[in-house]
Amino acid sequence: MERPLGSLYVLEEVLGRGATGEVWRGRTHEGQEYAFKVLHDTLARDAETRQRFLREDSILKSIRHPHLVRVHDLVAEGDTLAIVMDLIKGSDLRKPMREHGAMRPGDACSIAAEAASALAAIHEAGVVHRDIKPENVLLDMSSTPPAVRLTDFGIARIAEQTSSKSTMLVGTAPYIAPELADGRSAVPATDLYALGITLYEMCCGVTPFADRSTLVTLQRHGSAAPGRPPEIPDPLWELIEGLLAKDPDDRPAPAARVAILLEALARDLHQLPAAPTLTEPPEAVARVHSVLTDVSMATHPPRPEGTEAVRPAGRRRRGRALAVTAAAVVLVAIVGTAAYAVMRPADDDPRQPAAAPSSLGESAEFAPGRPTAASTSPRPSYGPGKVPDLTGMPEAQARSLLPPTTSLQIVREQAQAGQPDGVVLRQNPPPGSDLPPTLQLTVSSRQATQYLDELTPTSGEDDLTTGTDATDYRLSGRPQLHAVGITGSSCSSGEKGTAEYDLGQNYKQLVGVAGIDDDSPAGKAQATLEFYGDARKLKSVTTTLGKFKELDVDVTGVLRLTLRWTFTGLDGLNCPGATLVIGDGQLVAAAGYVPPSTASPSPSGG
């Protein structure tokens, strides 16, 4: 049933309901569709809530980001308060998790990276989301590939109760950070904790501290470390553990850095299959004591050994205060919010695990990242800080077993008859050694390759530098060996340059990555890199800080390869510069041609 909203809008259909209000599909009188979050009457009639609502108007409307559901308007009419937002054509993240179970690690990292980049935008505006969960992570199917859109930012701050009226906890129990459960204020790291819980759930199908009792769940957030699900890659698990640190100061931050780390993992883990979908979380590890333990123990004494409950251990932390009175019972009243997606299931329960046994990878339309192929499970390493045995593995799988801080020097060696392509033949140092900053892998290749940084440009060489050390250039946290750096430093927008290489028609493909170096001082820099073969445009990519692009350029029959670049966003105080990096740029040789650098590959230890 339609109902008017103010003088501009018409509400048409209820899409979902939550503790703070209803979500409607609606339109303007001109026909423009929007989603509307209409707050409950009890909130709308509260004078303090209404004042907060009006104060948030300019802030929420000013926050824009490709991975945020944009707020267009805030409407206050009588006892009605409503937020006007983008209408997302798709579903929330809960739906594919319920239907497909655990996701492939690369897909989970890709989704979490886009959510983290959206969090960076709202944190920069001084807003803490406070309710990150799959229901508030939307998958926008109107874009190609589907994009993550984070929603409900700002709702928690508008709806929160003053301490004189309520001790209601704003958030959702399985995703709530220990500091909120202990009655402390929300900080940006609070959202990163909830993002870590969501990432954990994407990887195995359940949240780490799930329990039928909300109070027990809250107690575990403060008193237990998460159990590790099987087959989660080491680098991904290290990041999840960091995000779930009990102390907000111990979590990786800010959100922009977390996004970069997740993007790097998404790239490194993209070939790994999904881990098993669990119905119960692995046993949590009792580690610290929280004031919520007192509340939990009053109603849930320790269970016999072997049950899923976690026994509290250790001493009570000092300096935390939470009145354990009848008001503490209100902690179970967790505020949930509805997601603004057209296809959102009505019966979602974030406490219930996704039961489907298959991977999200079987339904690629839900994955913002690239499609991935199944591979064998990684073999165990020799332990933390030691070099794993990588011989015989595909190159991508070997990369996934190494932390992002370890650089790889890849030596391509012509594959012998019957030898598979792209497999690690030797490694230096050998398995069991202390993990060095740079690890050399000799990989079989059916086609010889030449690194771009080993070629001397016939023109434009003064504008180019090559990385001589693993720390010279970094893209999304990963050091780039065999890198070509192009520096832009002009205060005027639109700085351009060119460089030319003589390929002699000896190559057929150029692969690698392109991005803005992590240490570039111009945070808003953007670079466009174009490739021309004998004056014919082959490819163009545009990249920004933290958003590198894959390169795959067909250079078959090209005599002269020309690179053209344009920088924008360099204007500002003191003319901040930026460096465009072509990382691991490799030219694949045409049949029968052996580049000079690969004619006699250097032997390496194994």
d(CA 566, CA 544): 12
Burial 185-210 (b: 16+ CB within 10 A, else e): ebbbbbbbbbbbbbbbbbbbbbbbbb
Please give the C-alpha separations between residue 64 and each of 61, 76, 579, in angstroms, as whole numbers: 8, 22, 26
For the CA atoms of 173, 99, 238, 291, the dihedral, rounded to the nearest 10 degrees, stands at 10
Contacts of 431 (CB under 8 A, 6+ apart): 382, 386, 387, 388, 389, 390, 391
pLDDT tens column, 195-220: 999 999 999 999 999 888 888 888 89
- The answer to whether the CB of 506 falls within 8 A of the CB of 550 is no
Confidence band, pLDDT 50/70/90 cuts, at residue 502: very high
Q: Which residue has the higher pLDDT, 330 or 49?
A: 49
pLDDT tens column, 474-487: 887 777 878 899 88
- The three-point CA angle 426-427-429 to 5° equals 145
pLDDT for the residue numbered 52: 77
pLDDT tens column, 245-284: 999 999 998 998 899 899 989 988 988 999 999 999 998 8
Gyration radius from the chain CA atoms:
26
Assigned CATH for 3-85 = 3.30.200.20
List the structure tokens of 551: 């390169």
- The answer to whether the CB of 447 falls within 8 A of the CB of 588 is yes
d(CA 427, CA 41): 66
- The answer to whether the CB of 538 falls within 8 A of the CB of 554 is yes
pLDDT tens column, 117-141: 999 989 988 889 988 999 999 998 8
Confidence band, pLDDT 50/70/90 cuts, at residue 382: low
Please give the C-alpha separations between residue 179 and each of 129, 249, 300, in angstroms, as whole numbers: 14, 11, 21
Most confident of 5-9, 358-362, 587-591: 5-9
> What share of the chain in percent tops pLDDT 70?
74
Distance of CA 22 to the CA centre of its chain: 29
Mean pLDDT of 520-537: 89
Strand boundaries in 276-402, DSSP class E: 285-286
Please give the C-alpha separations between residue 158 and each of 20, 119, 525, 569, in angstroms, as whole numbers: 10, 18, 34, 35
List the structure tokens of 524: 């808003």
- The amino acid present at 595, given as its one-letter code, is P
Homologous superfamily of 452-590: NPCBM/NEW2 domain (2.60.120.1060)
Domain ranges within the chain, ordered by starting residue: 3-85, 90-339+353-361, 395-447, 452-590
User: Within 10 Å of residue 481's Cβ, how many Cβ atoms?
Assistant: 21
Please name which of 192, 198, 167, 221 lies closest in space to residue 334, comparing C-alpha atoms. 167
> Which three-class secondary structure string do you get for 453-515?
HHCCCCECHHHEEECCCCCCCEECCEECCCCEEEEECCCCCCEEEEEEEECCCCEEEEEEEEE
pLDDT for the residue numbered 51: 78
549 annotated among ligand-binding-site residues: no
Confidence band, pLDDT 50/70/90 cuts, at residue 427: very high
d(CA 543, CA 524): 11
Mean pLDDT of 410-434: 79
- The amino acid present at 131, given as its one-letter code, is D
Q: Which of 86, 131, 389, 584 is catalytic?
A: 131
Place of tokens 């520096």: 487
List the structure tokens of 272: 């790994």
Place of tokens 């002269």: 560
Contacts of 268 (CB under 8 A, 6+ apart): 106, 235, 396, 399, 400, 404, 478
Assigned CATH for 90-339+353-361 = 1.10.510.10
Contacts of 445 (CB under 8 A, 6+ apart): 412, 413, 414, 415, 421, 422
The pLDDT of residue 492 is above 60:
no
Confidence band, pLDDT 50/70/90 cuts, at residue 40: confident
Place of tokens 């064998």: 376
Confidence band, pLDDT 50/70/90 cuts, at residue 467: low
180 dihedral zone (left: phi>0; alpha: psi -120 to 50; beta): alpha
Decide the pairing of beta strands 507-516 and 578-589.
antiparallel
Alpha helices in 173-279 (DSSP H): 178-181, 188-204, 214-223, 234-243, 255-268
The pLDDT of residue 308 is above 50:
no
List the structure tokens of 262: 């997740």
Place of tokens 């019957």: 418
List the structure tokens of 231: 């087959």
pLDDT tens column, 53-101: 877 777 888 888 889 998 898 888 888 888 999 999 888 999 999 999 9
> If 0-12 CB within 10 Å is exposed, 13-18 middle and 19+ buried, where does residue 374 land?
exposed
pLDDT mean across residues, the chain: 77
In the DSSP assignment, the letter for residue 160 is P
Phi, psi of 365 (to 5 degrees): -70, -15
The pLDDT of residue 174 is above 50:
yes
In DSSP terms, 147 is beta-bridged to: 140
User: Is 46 annotated in the active site?
Assistant: no
- The amino acid present at 410, given as its one-letter code, is I
d(CA 49, CA 45): 8
